[in-house]
Structure 1
Amino acid sequence: MKIPKTLLTPTRRPALRKRHLAAAGLVLGAAVLLTACQSTPTRPPLAVAERLDIDRYMGDWYVIAVIPTWPERDAYDALERYERRPDGKIATTFTFRHGGHDEPLKTMNPVGTVLPNTGNAIWTMQFLWPFEADYRIMHIDPDYKEVVVGREKRDYVWIMSRTPTMPAADLERLTRFVEAQGYDVSKLRKVPQRPR
């Protein structure tokens, strides 16, 4: 709409400019939101194991490869141990050495909580109250010898085994599985394990 110049008095110009800027801001904001919605593809939910036997899952798991969290970025001899507590929660002991096999052992003790109606495959891990981290058992083999644990955000992942070594073909197969779930496997790091 064209406004006659006679109406654009000095007292009306600033108010008119503010309204034009506000309208332009709204249009630009809406355009950005629409573009963001269209350009962000939706990913399917992360795969999770159909049914996990908690008792069989307990015990030691060696970390074979990982897209690491900050503390794990240079981990050696990483081992995750799970034990069921009387209250139903999972006591977790994560041990590793930072930077080499001869470095001092470091320990973390998060507590796992199995979420109901998830086939026991989706947990939360609490490292520090009140913060809880997503923990999803994406794959477990029928013999409970290999496992892949990830997060819905696809930022961290752990490929673990009951033994400190894993055949190269198995690691490659699990790496392809992780990649198919939408992870950037170029970030995957093999964890050095001291021969036992």
Structure 2
Amino acid sequence: MKNLRRSIFVAFVILVISGAALAFLPIPSIFNAPPENPPEVVKYVDLKRFSGLWYEIARFPNPYQEGCINSRASYTVNPDGTVEVSNLCDVHGEEKSLTGSAVVEDPATNAKLKVTFLWPLTGDYWIVVLDRDYKYAVISEPGREKLWILAREKTLPERAYKDIIKKLTANGYDTSRLIKTTHK
């Protein structure tokens, strides 16, 4: 019985990790040419300043975060220059997490990363909005299908949120798709 439970648990973990990895991938870009008009990224990201804990303020719907509250992300620059990406949330009172590794795709800006949660699957992780004081940021990908608004605090001043929406709209995003994140 103990081995059966362990096998079921391992199968469940593999299924969750596989699904989570796929949720972060812009699937159309795997099979098709990159979008003709990808979003603009920020001019430069100081990855050391970007490191640390961020709270999700809003996101586009995605299967991995179904039922998530208290969503947050943590970034750590490793000595080899890669970035550890840890995504966490609470589902029915239980913390769920997924950790991956990202490499900088564009060293001139550090704003385009390629993240791997489950090898060999990778996803684009582009920083399209960044506050000059690193108080908020927006992560997306070339197809504009996935998007996360992040902040250093659990809440974001309304003025800053409206500024983000304005920038996203100007960058071709359908902001009506945003779901605000619950934090308790």
Mind listing any 5+ residue stretches in structure 2 that lack a counterpart?
Answer: 1-34
CA deviation digits over 1:79-129, x for unaligned, max 9? 10011112211111111012x5xx100001021111144410000111110
Mind listing any 5+ residue stretches in structure 1 that lack a counterpart?
Answer: 1-41
CA drift at 1:43: 5.5
Alignment of 1:34-183 (within 5 A): 44-98=37-91, 103-183=93-173
CA deviation digits over 1:134-188, x for unaligned, max 9? 1100111111111011111000111110001111221122122222222222210
Q: Which moved more, 1:112-121 or 1:143-152?
A: 112-121
Q: Please tell me whether the aligned partners of residues 38 and 143 of structure 2 are also in contact (alpha carbons under 8 angstroms).
A: no
CA distance in 2, matches of 1:160, 1:68: 15
**Cα–Cα, structure 1 residues 117 and 88, in superposed 2: closer, same or farther, change >3 Å?**
closer
TM-score by length of 1: 0.72
TM-score by length of 2: 0.76
CA distance in 2, matches of 1:105, 1:55: 26
Larger radius of gyration: 1
The ranges of structure 1 where at least 4 consecutive aligned residues each deviate by more than 6 angstroms after the TM superposition are none
CA distance in 1, matches of 2:118, 2:162: 34
Matching residue's letter, 2:126 = R
CA drift at 1:69: 2.3
Q: What is the alpha-carbon root mean square deviation over aligned residues?
A: 1.5
Q: Percent identity?
A: 29
Q: Which has the higher contact order (CA 8 A, sep 6+)?
A: 2
- Count residues in correspondence: 150
